[in-house]
A and B are shown apart, each in its own frame.
Chain A
Amino acid sequence: MTFTLNRRGLLKATGAAALVSGLSMPSILRAQAQTVKIGVLEPLTGNLAYNGTQCAAGAKFAADAINAAGGIKSMGGAQIELVVVDAQSRPEIAASAVDTLAEAGVVAFTGASASALGLASSQAAAKYDLAQVFSIGTAETIVERGLPNVFRFTPGVNKCTSVALENLKQLNAAAGNPVKTAAIVHEDGPFGSNMAKIMAEQLPQQGIEVVETISHPTPHRDFNNIALRVKASGANILIPSNYLNEYTLMARALRQQRAELMAIYSILGGAASNIKFVRENNDVAQYVMDCNHWYDPNKPESQALAASVAEAGLDLTYDVMVSYATIQVIADALERGASTDRKAMIETLAASTFDGSIMPYGPTKFVNGDNVNSQPVNTQIRGDKIELVFPEEYATAEPVFPVPQEG
């Protein structure tokens, strides 16, 4: 069969097609579920780009999973649309990026990988009555400013440090209290400095003397001096709090300077819970323990996330996990509130009792914007895996403490 189409025929056909499509368009639009916009404000460039990109990926996995499961059902199956903006690892950009999110019409947003960025963005968001559910923001100042739009789902530095020290106490006691002295190495921003201060106060109370405290900038090029000082201090354990790049250089320098430690016990360590560090520095990574944000690996949704991350060829880091969870929290608030009104969203989030996230938390309870039922867990690098070793109810392996000495 052949068709011939002359100029007049073509015009008729085009006109008919236009008419049909024009008439049918409204019905197509009516059939589509509405979308609801959630902001993702992360440092996609600059020093914190790795963390920010991982967080953005986590948010996308969560949105995809929620959309695939039918979207926000109370809003007619509304699909989540993420509006991702780059904080460029700079607080002033994080603050101005909030304007972009507000103009885009987001109902709430998640972010921003570092306390300094989150402090700036949440302050800026307050004038729009725009809720920020923090993916990571450990500085306590975040929840001490009385801003009603601030919701920190993950634990802050105080809780992370106190839980980490309590866990260390239990590990040490179980091993016969071999650890008597500790050295602290921390980045010199609010995150590391606050933590060092708390540890210096609390470690002596559990019989561990702090024999050396060293701060360093980010980025930092040379860790030889730091390794030398740790070694010279004779500390039994090292407690570092810094980001991935610096942690990697530090771990190498410690090995090169032959620092003999019973354990490296990180608190919110940038690399100790990062599979990339395990892969590329496997030798020095062994038995490094961390107290950090981590998901409950036994939950089916966690396992689905791990599979999605592996399929996408990404690293499964805590950034991915917490960002995934914060989108879950916002989606739950949308489900309960069934509204895209920003003030209503703040009220709904404040009343959240969500207990379906992938994190090993109890039901969400925000007190002054801080989720009091959040908790960090202990992980340990074993072989080519990161195992959850503490608390026992979530553990995938037994903790090894102190580490077996070489030779």
Chain B
Amino acid sequence: MSSLILPAVLSGLTMGAVYALVALGLTLIYGVLHIINFAHGSLLMLALYAAYFLFVHLGVDPYLAIPILLPVFFCLGYALQRWLIAPMSSGSEQNVLLVTLALALIIDNLALYFWTSNTRSVDIPYAYNTVEFLGAYLPLGRVIAFFAALAAAPLLWLFMTRTRTGSAIRAVAIEKRGAEIVGIDVNHTYAICFGIGTACVALAACLLLPTFYVTPQVGYTFVLVAFTTVVLGGMGSLPGALIAGLLLGVIESLCGLFLGESLGQIGIFIAFILILLFKPSGLLGRRAA
């Protein structure tokens, strides 16, 4: 068993990178804007289908689909927030919850209606390629996802801290009324943030597709872990989401190895409970004023 620990840790890191990628968009929307986006998993599923159909019908490799789907899903997210979620919720957080829940139900059922419950996966030439590292064979697709997560989190962090739009998003998150007074278009900023979060989901989907399958229910496989990742990392903290994602991946992998795969996910939720008990603001989250 001891010979399996290192491969399991490495495998957990690459799986954790996927969790981090899914959580990056969520931490922007949920963590920064305090919008509990129940549709996050459904949007992930939608992006997976988009990448799948691009591959099947147009032969676009999932990785090459990234520059296509990122702007498309940014626009989708922007439109959803600007013209659906915001008007329907009327500024109430409870209403946002209900609207995103309704959105999730609608997207899921439309997917079921149009694409049926069939499981789909892509048969790409490099599907079984691996990278040998310290004696462990790591699936190429997951290694790519790992480095993409390592790159995406700092890039997003730079965007949030070094650009005017990023500053506007943070300003709106901290003090909405104040931001409005200094001339920030709050509705536009909210929609931009939601759009970026949705584009992150598209990025996660393109990186996930070569190693995973697509069904109308696939979003739920990741969304609960994504919420846990956001809370563990600290609400709104992009580096926190990355670290938490990687940590959860390793915890899950090691728990699976030592306690059995059926109990692997226990580790995730034990970590979640511990962080709520001892550091409710998360690993890198700011303490509430």
Contacts and interface: CB of A to CB of B under 8 A. Distances in A.
Contact of A256 (B130, B256, B264): B130
A281 B217 contact: no
A49 interface: yes
B198 interface: no
Contact of B215 (A44, A50, A214): A50
Given A49-B112, A222-B11, A228 B4 contact: yes
A335 interface: no
Interface in B197-211: 211
B229 to A, nearest CB: 13
Interface string A292-320: 00000000000000000000000100000
Nearest to A229: B4
Interface in A256-295: 256-258, 276, 280-284
B15 interface: yes
Interface in B228-284: 252-253, 256-257, 260-262, 264-265
A257 B137 contact: yes
A248 B119 contact: yes
B4 A256 contact: no
B260 A214 contact: yes
A226 B264 CA distance: 12
A315 B137 CA distance: 34
B249 to A, nearest CB: 8
B146 to A, nearest CB: 13
Nearest to A89: B217
B265 A217 contact: yes
Interface residues of B, number: 39
Nearest to B7: A228
A202 B210 CA distance: 39
Nearest to B14: A224
A214 B121 contact: no
A244 B15 CA distance: 21
A210 to B, nearest CB: 16
A237 B252 CA distance: 27
B118 A255 contact: no
A252 B126 CA distance: 12
B121 A280 contact: yes
Nearest to A217: B262
A353 interface: no
Contacts of A73: none
A53 interface: yes
Nearest to B216: A49
Contacts of A214: 260-261
Interface in B117-175: 117-123, 127-128, 130, 137, 139
A318 to B, nearest CB: 15
B8 A49 contact: no
A52 to B, nearest CB: 7
22 contacts: A45-B112, A47-B217, A49-B215, A49-B216, A50-B117, A52-B117, A214-B261, A216-B261, A217-B261, A224-B8, A232-B3, A232-B4, A245-B119, A245-B215, A248-B119, A252-B139, A255-B128, A256-B137, A258-B137, A280-B120, A281-B123, A284-B128
Q: Which 6 A-B pairs have the closest CB atoms?
A: A49-B117, A216-B261, A224-B11, A188-B262, A50-B117, A255-B128
